[in-house]
Amino acid sequence: MSETRTVEATGADIEQAIESGLVQLDVSRENVIVEVLEEPSRGLLGIGAKQARVRLTTAVAPRSAQPTYAASTPRPVAPPPPTSEPRPVERPSYSSPRSQPQPERRDRSEQQDDSYQRVTQLIEDETELPNDVQLGLATLREILGHMQIDAGVTVERSLEETDAEAETAPWILHVHGEDLGLLIGHRGETLSSLQYLTRLIASRDLQQRADFIIDVENYKGRREMLLRKLAHRMAKDAVRRRRTVELEPMPPHERRIIHLALKNRDDVYTESVGEGNRRKVTIVPK
């Protein structure tokens, strides 16, 4: 595991400040969490103008020191050969604190979150899949074919409580292969569009909601782990400095991950503020 690294950066606006910080850390956008320290201000007639100031925190190695997707679980280029029964696959994250001892003492709420373990089951007999998942799988493969992308798709079933709004639907369509950054896009925007389009086609054909999510090379899984981990670090920072910590704008499912990660802490609470695509999470000390 790499040590957490933090840097403060400035720019004419929030985006420029973030890009400056990413260059200093030599990491990609999805591997950091951003705290907005100061909004930019143009001042009066140019007098008293202030630049945007942000703090970026990351726990991954620089891009020059790690291969692409080094943090993710290695996935096969092609679907594995079928066996008699689906084999369970455990995703690194968190298990119940009672299931295994903790190596060090931490506050109760953080133990509950960091010990959570996501468990899924690889489905090797696609004929056993529900209609919406079968249709989604066929649609996704057809879209990838039209895009001339050489990638495999496997299906896993979540064995935990699911919440589609938090990107934890019961069925996960995993796209795996080489050089799939094109499918993820800037901050996962292309992946979100791919999921929306695939769901839309499947839902239209079935005349009902298609309940699955799409992930590429475990991008969403890695992003969720990072958000959960760094949410607690930001909470500790808010308590230590006795001030509200304001994160960068996030899509709804990422904001929800932050809220859920910190909901059991007794020293902070979270709120979403702002409108539209500027909506963001604040972490407030009690």
For residue 139, what is the domain's CATH number? 3.30.300.20
Taking a C-beta distance cutoff of 8 angstroms, is the pair 185, 29 a contact?
A: no
> Is the model's pLDDT at 77 over the cut of 70?
no
> Is the model's pLDDT at 90 over the cut of 60?
no
Same domain for 94 and 210, yes or no, is: yes
Write out pLDDT tens, residues 175-189: 999 889 889 988 788
Domain range holding 191? 88-220
Position 96 scores a pLDDT of: 37
Residue type, 155: V
Per-residue pLDDT averaged across 57-80, rounded? 48
> Is the model's pLDDT at 10 over the cut of 80?
yes
Per-residue pLDDT averaged across 138-158, rounded? 93
Position 145 scores a pLDDT of: 94
Q: How is residue 8 written in tokens?
A: 């403060």
Angle subtended by helix axes 219-241 and 252-262, to nearest 10:
50
Position 93 scores a pLDDT of: 39
Last residue of a domain, one of 180, 199, 220: 220
Q: Is 16 part of a structural domain of the chain?
A: yes
Same domain for 136 and 259, yes or no, is: no
Position 80 scores a pLDDT of: 46
Per-residue pLDDT averaged across 5-30, rounded? 90
- Of 110 and 215, the structure prediction assigns the larger pLDDT to 215
Per-residue pLDDT averaged across 217-229, rounded? 87
> Is the model's pLDDT at 106 over the cut of 70?
no
What's the chain's average pLDDT?
Answer: 78
Last residue of a domain, one of 191, 220, 249: 220
Instruction: Report how far Cα 209 is from the mean position of its chain's Cα atoms.
Output: 23
> Is the model's pLDDT at 65 over the cut of 50?
no
Same domain for 54 and 98, yes or no, is: no
Q: Is 200 part of a structural domain of the chain?
A: yes
Q: Is 133 part of a structural domain of the chain?
A: yes
Position 43 scores a pLDDT of: 73
For residue 42, what is the domain's CATH number? 3.30.1370.50
Question: What is the pTM for the complete model shown?
Answer: 0.64
Residue 147: pLDDT band (50, 70, 90) is: very high
Q: Is 14 part of a structural domain of the chain?
A: yes
First-to-final CA distance of the chain: 31
d(CA 273, CA 249): 9
Position 101 scores a pLDDT of: 42
Give me the count of residues in the chain. Answer: 286
Most confident of 59-73, 107-121, 239-253: 239-253
Q: Is 95 part of a structural domain of the chain?
A: yes
Position 170 scores a pLDDT of: 80
Closest CA to 33 of 280, 284, 269: 280
> Is the model's pLDDT at 116 over the cut of 50?
no
Number of structural domains the chain divides into: 2
